[in-house]
Structure 1
């Protein structure tokens, strides 16, 4: 499945768009094991190219469990292996708490908006 082929049916848990030269993977609703199975092929497609510029937007997420964390770690590993950039958007307090408690917020600092994320150099690679 390609994030660029335009033929994909609307997905329940994911919207894909391009913004500021980045592929934005916008997660929706409850991000659990079933949602992750829907998202993985698109995440892998988006992160397969050299030097991918990816934004994962968690702002529309209502529930986020360990399956969601695995998606973020997978995206980070794949983007860093290809010399790209990964940004994370998140404003939901419970999801932010999960990111902080697990330490992922240190590796992939969440921002409240795309403009804020792109302006923060520490968030560009997740190598902190």
Structure 2
């Protein structure tokens, strides 16, 4: 899933609905590309945290693709940088084939 623009209160409800659908089944394997996100507020961060919690509860995997220093700084300042699997670029196909634990 690729997100772009501003992730804030105005777009969070449809985003939450879509992410809930993508994480509804067992062992979800989700990649969210945030490289084109220009702004994210606390509501947007809470949706990412909710998605992470849903994925973990279903023994899945969530990877965030982010390379902007401003976004990475927000994650560090909120204590969330160690919570997410953050990568600077999309995983290659061999990484996508690694089986999930459990």
TM (norm. structure 2) is 0.86
Aligned to 1:105: 81
Contact 2:62–2:85 (Cα < 8 Å) also in 1: no
Q: CA deviation at 1:38?
A: 2.0
Q: CA deviation at 1:109?
A: 3.4
Q: Which has the higher contact order (CA 8 A, sep 6+)?
A: 2
Q: CA deviation at 1:26?
A: 1.3
Q: In 1, distance between residues paired with 2:73 and 2:85?
A: 12
Aligned residues: 97
1:94 aligns with 2:70: yes
Aligned to 1:69: 45
- Which 5+ residue runs of structure 1 have no aligned equivalent? 1-24
Aligned to 1:49: 25
Q: CA deviation at 1:37?
A: 1.4
Deviating beyond 2 angstroms after TM superposition, the runs of 4 or more aligned structure 1 residues are none
Q: CA deviation at 1:68?
A: 1.4
Q: In 2, distance between residues paired with 1:85 and 1:61?
A: 21
Contact 2:9–2:43 (Cα < 8 Å) also in 1: yes
- Which 5+ residue runs of structure 2 have no aligned equivalent? none
Q: CA RMSD in A?
A: 2.0
